[in-house]
Structure 1
Amino acid sequence: MLRVDAQTGARWHGGTAEVWPGSPAPLGAHWDGTGTNFALWSAGASGVDLCLFDADGTEHRQQLQETTHQVWHGRLPGVGPGQRYGYRVHGPHDPASGARYNPAKLLLDPYTRAVDGELVLDDALFGHDRHDPNLADPRDSAPFVPRGVVIHDSFPWDGDTRLDTPWSDTVVYEVHVKGATMLHPDVPPTLRGTYAGLAHPAFVEHLVSLGVTAVELLPVHHFVSEPHLLRRGLTNHWGYNTLGYFAPHAAYSSAGSAGGQVTEFKAMVKALHAAGIEVILDVVYNHTAEGDHTGPTLSFKGIDNAGYYRLGGFGAGDDRSRYTDYTGCGNTLDVRRPAVLGLLMDSLRYWVTEMHVDGFRFDLASALARSMHDVDRLSAFFDVVHQDPVVSTVKLIAEPWDVGEGGYQVGNFPPPWTEWNGKYRDTVRDVWSGARVGVRDLAYRLTGSSDLYRSDGRRPFASVNFITAHDGFTMADLVTYEQKRNEANGEDNRDGESHNRNWNCGVEGPTDDPAVTELRARQVRNHLATLLLSTGVPMLTAGDELGRTQGGNNNAYCQDNEVSWIDWGAIDADLWSFVAHAVGLRRRSPVLRQEAFFEGAEVAGTGGTRDLAWFSPSGEQLTSSDWFDTGLQTVGMYLDGRGIRHRDQRGRPVVDDSWLIWLHAGADAVDVVLPGDPWGDGYELVLATEYPTGQPPRPTALPPGPAQLPGRSVWALRVLRHPQPEAHAD
C-alpha cells in the first residue's frame, strides 16, 4: 500500500521507504528533482540507519546497505525538500579505544543544509551511562535533539557576486545577528534579531552612513547551548558551539519553515552587497558542541568519534577516552584527517559558492594548524586552503592563537592570511590606560606592524587592528570599569579576562561626576581615533560607536538579553558623529590606509621630507634615546602623501594630502612645536578628540611653531602648502 507524507512528499510502502543504492558523493542529503541521495562518512561504523520523520514526529528507519570508501549511502525516490531526517550509527561502545557508537542516539548529519528543532536538556542526550562511562546509555535521544532538513533553494541572485573590496579600503564591523536589531525601533518586531532584521534598511543605512565596508558576523553556523548553561537557565549567545557547518543558525530566521532559513540568509547577503557591504563569517572549525568526554552525543561523537576528534593516547593500549583540548571547549577537531579536512573545505566552498559570502574569520585558528602538537606553517590545513581555487580568493582572517602551549602565533600565519592583531590591542590599551610603555611599540602598531608582517612579504593590511571585540569589555566599559562584573554568568565572577590593560578614569563604574564623564568620553574617542588613523584594517565592534555598555560584563557569551543587545534608545549621537567623521577621513585619504609599508625614506622633490617621520614635542625628529624612553607619552607622526608607493588600477601614481598626527597620553596639556619648512607651511586641524564630534567648531589653521595639545588627546592635522610659483621661460 502506497502512502505519501503530506508535509514532505516522501513515499512509503507498508511503512518502509524505498531505498536505492545511491551514490557516495556528494556527502549530505541532496535532492535531484525526483528523490534524495543520502551519504554519510563513518570509517568505524558497523551499520548506519537513516531515520526519516513524519510531520507528527513518527520515525521511519532504513538501514543503508551500501558503503563506498567508508561512506554509507542510499537514494530514496520520492523523498524531497522539507523532509526531516537524522542517523543512528551502530558499532562498538568502547571509550578507552575511542569508539563511542550508540544507535540509541539520533545524530545530526554534519552536512545538513538546514536544521529543525531545538536541543532540549535531558539525560538521554548523553551516549554514555552517567554512572559507568564504559557503558552505553540505552535511552532514545530523538525527542530532544534537532533534525536535519532536505532543502532545495532556487534563490534569485540576479547577478549578485562577491564584492572583493580591496583590503586597504576595508573597514570591518563585528556584529551579532540577533543583538544588532533586537531593540531597534525601526525594525519590525517580527524581524528583530533575524537575518531579515540585519538586512532591513534601517540597519543597513546605519552601516552605510558610518562608512563600514564589511560586516563580520559572529557565528551563524547552526549551534546549540552547552548543557551546563541550560542547567543554569542560560543559553549560548555568541554561538561558538557549532553543530552544523553548512546550516544557517535556525533561531536567526524569521521564516516559518526550516528551508526558509537558507533563503533568508541569502536575501540578507544580497541586500548587504547591494549596499556595498561585504559579509564575513566568524567560523568555528576548531571544536564542536559535543564538549569533552562528559558531553552529549549529538553528531560527530556518535558517527565516528576517533575519526573526527583529536584523542589522547597514541600507542597500543593507550586510553583514548579523553580529548586533546587546544580550544578550552572540551575537544579539538582533527583537521589532520582527510575526512575532517574535507568537511572543513566543503563547508567553506559552500558558503562562498552557494551563499555568496566574502570571507571568513577563523576562531582559534592556531588549533587548525597543529600537525602533531606544534602550530605548523606547513600543515595540511594551510596547503589545502592556499591551493583551493575558491577559498583562496576570499578574505581570510585568523584569530592567531589557541589555549594550547605555543598557541600564540600573532604574526606567524603565512600569506595570504590576515590576522587579528592582538599586539595592536594590547599596545593601544596600554598607552591610553597610562602605562609607561613609551612610543616604540606604538609606532609599529600605528604603521601596520611591519615587525610582524613584513618579513614574509605580507603588507600592512595583514594586520586587522582592533581594541575591543565581542570577547571582553565594550569600549565604553573599557574606560568605566577596571574590575569585571560577570556575576550574571553564574560562575562567581571567575570567568572572563582579569587583566584588561584598562583604566576607569579614577572611579569604578557609573558616576554623575561631570569631569569623570567627560574624561571617559574623551578616552573613548582617543581609542577610536587611534584605531581609525592607524595603517592596517580597522575593526569596530558593533555598538562601540554608540556608547554601548554591558554593565562591566567582559564575558557576555551567555547573556542573550539586554546586556548584549544594542540599546538603540540610549545612543551617544556625538560619538556616532565622531566615528563617522574619522572613518570618512580614512576613506578619503590613501596615505591613512597605505598598501605598502612606510620606508622612512626621503621623498624626492620635497626638499627633505620623508614618507614617514616621527616628532618629539620639541618639533625635532625622535632620537635613538627617545625610542627607548618609557616615559615619553607624546609623539607626532608625519605621513607625506606625496610618497605613497602604489599606483591606481591604470598605473598612475597615487598622491594624497600629507598629515601630522599627534597622540598625547599624558594627563596634562603639553606644548609641542609644529615643524616648518620643508614639512609644512601650515596645518589645518581636522580632527581633535577634545571635541565631542571630533570636529573643531570653526576651521582652525595653525602656523608652524608652538601649539598646545590638551591632556589625553589626539589631533589630526592636514598639512598646508603654499602654491609653488610657476616657472617662466626666458
Structure 2
Amino acid sequence: MRQAKWHLVIPHSTSRSPSLGQSPGQPSLGQPSLGPFPLGAHPEAGGVRFAVASSVAEAVDVCLVGSDGSERRVPLGERTFGVWHGVVPGVGPGQRYGYRVHGPWDPDRELRCDPAKLLVDPYARRVRGAVTDLDVAAERGRDSLGAVPLSVVTAHGGPDTGTRPGVPWERTVLYELHVGGFTRTHPDVPPEHRGTYLGLGHPAVLAYLTDLGVTTVELLPVQAFCDEPSLQHRGRHNYWGYSPLALLAVHPGYAAVPGAEVEEFRTMVGALHAAGIEVVLDVVPNHTCEGGVDGPTLAYRGLDAPGYYLRGDLTGCGNTLDAGSPTVVRLVTDALRYWAGELGVDGFRFDLASVLGRPHGGAFDPDAPLLTAIVTDPLLSGCKLIAEPWDATAEGYRVGGFGVQYAEWNGRYRDAVRDFWRGRSGVSELASRLAGSSDLYAASGRRPWASVNFVTAHDGFTLRDLVSYDRKHNDANGEGGTDGTDDNRSWNCGVEGETDDPGIVGLRARQA
C-alpha cells in the first residue's frame, strides 16, 4: 500500500509577484487543509481555512488587510476540483481579506484575471466598505486596495433565531417591506434603532404587524449589496438593494452597530418568530453589482467570469449569472442553505426567477438544474419558495410555468384587478383570478395558494399612484423616465398628479 503524503503545490505564473505584500518570516503558502469544501473563510483551530472557486486562475492569493491598510499576501497552495484552498495560521474572526487572481486576460474569451484587483469572496459572510473610486475598480492594472469593499472572516453562531412558525400556505398573509425604510420614522422605535434589523424586531412594530393579520414578512434584499456603476456615475445610491455583492453576507447598512449585522439580523428573526411571524427574503441570484463588462471588477468577473456570467444579459442590469454553471448552482444553493439554516429564515422570493430556469441563456425549463437543486435540497424544500415568473425578455414571461413546489407572484391577478378597478375589463377575468387562477396552476398540480395575489409591490406604481397618475413621472432620479414599465394600468381620476379639488380628492380616497 502506498503511503499517503501531503503535497504543497506551488502554481507557476509569470504574472505573479510572490514577494509583493509579504512580510518577512511569514509563510509563502497556505498550509494544507483537509479539502476544498465548504467554500469561504472558516475559522479553525489556530487559523482560518480559505477556499475560493476559480477554474481559470493560474494562482490565487488570499490577501490579509490590517487595520492600518497594510496587506499580507499568502498564496493558496492547493487546488482541488477547481477550488483554491489552504489554512492560514494565526488569524481569526474579524480579519479583513480579499483575493487576488493570477491568470489570463483575454476579453474575447471573457477572461479578465487581473491580480491588481482585490476581490470580495463570493462566500463572505460579512463585508465592509464600499466602492470609493469607480475608475480604479474598473481599469485593468490599477491596484484597487482601498477603493473596494473587503470581506471579513466571521464565526458561526449567534443569538437564537427561535422556533419557525410554520404557517401553512393557505393561511399565509405576506407583507413586503424594506428594512431601512419601514421603521425610519416610527415614533415608538428608539432613534438609534430606526431603519435597522433591531428596529424591525421592536415590540411596537411586531404588534402593528400582528394587528394587521400579517403572518409572513417578505424583506426586500438584505444580502450585502453595492451601488451599481450607473448610479455611482450620477452620484446616487441604491436604495432598494437589487444589486448584490455577496450572497451570503448580511447587508451591513441596516445594522444599528457597525459590524454587528449578523447578530442583529439573528435577533430580529428571533423576535419575529416569537411573535408568530415568518421571515421570507427577496433574493437576487440573477445578476450582480458589477454591471456590464466596462464596470468594476469587485468579485465574480475577476475570479472566473465564464464560470459566473452569461455573455448576454437577460436582466437589464448589465450582467446575468449563468444558472447552468455548476459554480453558480453551488453558490446560490449554498447561500440559501446558510440563510435558512444558520440565520433561521423561512423562505425566499426569487427576483427575476425565470433567469434561474434558463441555463446558459437558453429557453426556459421548469426543471432546469438550479430550480431543481433548490426544490430537491433537504433543507430548502421545506422553505416557502416564491418565483417572480419573468425576466427582462419575452421568453422569460412564465406566469404559471414554474414547478409544483414554487408559488408565484401572479402578475395576471395584479393586471386583472387594476383593469377592473378602472373599468377596462369585465368580471370574467377578475372572477378567475379571485377564485385561485386554476387555469394557471391546476394543470401542474398546484393548489390555489400557489398564486401570490397582489395589486401593488415595490415595482411600479404605489396604490396612491394608481389613482393619481395616468403615466409615470420618474423625474427625480436623473434617468429621464426611462426606468420602470409604462404598463401601470392606472387612472388619475381626472387630474394628473396632486390636486386640491375636493371632488377628485374624495374619489381617490374611495378608490384606494
Report the TM range for the smaller structure's normalisation: over 0.9
Aligned partners of 2:203, 2:24: CA distance in 1, in Å?
Answer: 50
Aligned partners of 1:283, 1:229: CA distance in 2, in Å?
Answer: 21
Alignment of 1:679-718 (within 5 A): none
- What is aligned with 1:291? 291
Q: Does 1:150 align with 2:133?
A: no
**Letter aligned with residue 487 of structure 2:** H
- What is aligned with 1:185? 187
**Letter aligned with residue 82 of structure 1:** G
On the 8 A contact 1:121/1:227 being kept in 2, the answer is no
- Partner of residue 19 from structure 1, selected from 30, 38, 43: 30
Q: Give the Å deviation of 1:15.
A: 5.3
Q: Give the Å deviation of 1:16.
A: 5.4
- What is aligned with 1:199? 201
What CA RMSD, in Å, does the superposition of the two structures yield over aligned residues? 1.5
Alignment of 1:6-45 (within 5 A): 14=25, 19-22=30-33, 23-45=35-57
TM-score where L is the length of structure 2: 0.93
Aligned partners of 1:17, 1:150: CA distance in 2, in Å?
Answer: 20
- Please identify, of 288-297 and 183-192, the stretch whose mean Cα deviation from structure 2 is larger: 183-192
Alignment of 1:529-678 (within 5 A): none
**Letter aligned with residue 96 of structure 1:** D
Aligned partners of 1:162, 1:89: CA distance in 2, in Å?
Answer: 41
Aligned partners of 1:300, 1:200: CA distance in 2, in Å?
Answer: 37
- What is aligned with 2:480? 492
Q: Hey, which bits of structure 1, 4+ residues long, moved more than 6 A?
A: none
- What is aligned with 1:382? 371
CA deviation map 1:384-443 (0-9, x unaligned): 1221111111000000001123110001111111000000000000001121x2111111
Aligned partners of 1:156, 1:253: CA distance in 2, in Å?
Answer: 15
Higher Rg of the two aligned structures = 1
SS of the residue 2:217 aligns to: strand
5+ long unaligned stretches in structure 1: 1-10, 128-136, 312-323, 525-730
- What is aligned with 1:52? 64
On the 8 A contact 2:101/2:115 being kept in 1, the answer is yes
Aligned partners of 1:362, 1:34: CA distance in 2, in Å?
Answer: 39
SS of the residue 1:235 aligns to: coil
- Partner of residue 241 from structure 1, selected from 225, 240, 243: 243
Aligned partners of 1:461, 1:144: CA distance in 2, in Å?
Answer: 47
- Please identify, of 442-451 and 511-520, the stretch whose mean Cα deviation from structure 2 is larger: 511-520
- Partner of residue 321 from structure 2, selected from 323, 333, 356: 333
Alignment of 1:189-268 (within 5 A): 189-257=191-259, 260-268=260-268
Q: Does 1:95 align with 2:120?
A: no
On the 8 A contact 1:16/1:60 being kept in 2, the answer is no
- Partner of residue 410 from structure 2, selected from 408, 421, 426: 421
On the 8 A contact 1:24/1:72 being kept in 2, the answer is yes
Q: Does 1:308 align with 2:308?
A: yes
Q: Give the Å deviation of 1:209.
A: 1.2
CA deviation map 1:670-715 (0-9, x unaligned): xxxxxxxxxxxxxxxxxxxxxxxxxxxxxxxxxxxxxxxxxxxxxx
Aligned partners of 1:162, 1:78: CA distance in 2, in Å?
Answer: 38
Aligned partners of 2:87, 2:36: CA distance in 1, in Å?
Answer: 10
Q: Give the Å deviation of 1:382.
A: 2.5
Q: Give the Å deviation of 1:509.
A: 1.4
On the 8 A contact 1:425/1:465 being kept in 2, the answer is yes
Q: Give the Å deviation of 1:514.
A: 2.1
Query: Identity over aligned residues, as a percent?
Result: 55
Aligned partners of 2:476, 2:32: CA distance in 1, in Å?
Answer: 53
- What is aligned with 2:169? 167
- What is aligned with 1:728? none
Aligned partners of 2:468, 2:133: CA distance in 1, in Å?
Answer: 38
CA deviation map 1:523-569 (0-9, x unaligned): 11xxxxxxxxxxxxxxxxxxxxxxxxxxxxxxxxxxxxxxxxxxxxx
Q: Give the Å deviation of 1:18.
A: 7.3
SS of the residue 1:334 aligns to: coil
- What is aligned with 1:403? 392
Change (3 A) 1:331 1:459: same
Q: Give the Å deviation of 1:328.
A: 0.6
SS of the residue 2:63 aligns to: strand
On the 8 A contact 1:280/1:359 being kept in 2, the answer is yes
Give the number of aligned pairs. 489
- What is aligned with 1:271? 271
Aligned partners of 1:126, 1:218: CA distance in 2, in Å?
Answer: 28
CA deviation map 1:186-223 (0-9, x unaligned): 22221111111111122222111111111101111101
CA deviation map 1:567-621 (0-9, x unaligned): xxxxxxxxxxxxxxxxxxxxxxxxxxxxxxxxxxxxxxxxxxxxxxxxxxxxxxx
- What is aligned with 1:480? 468
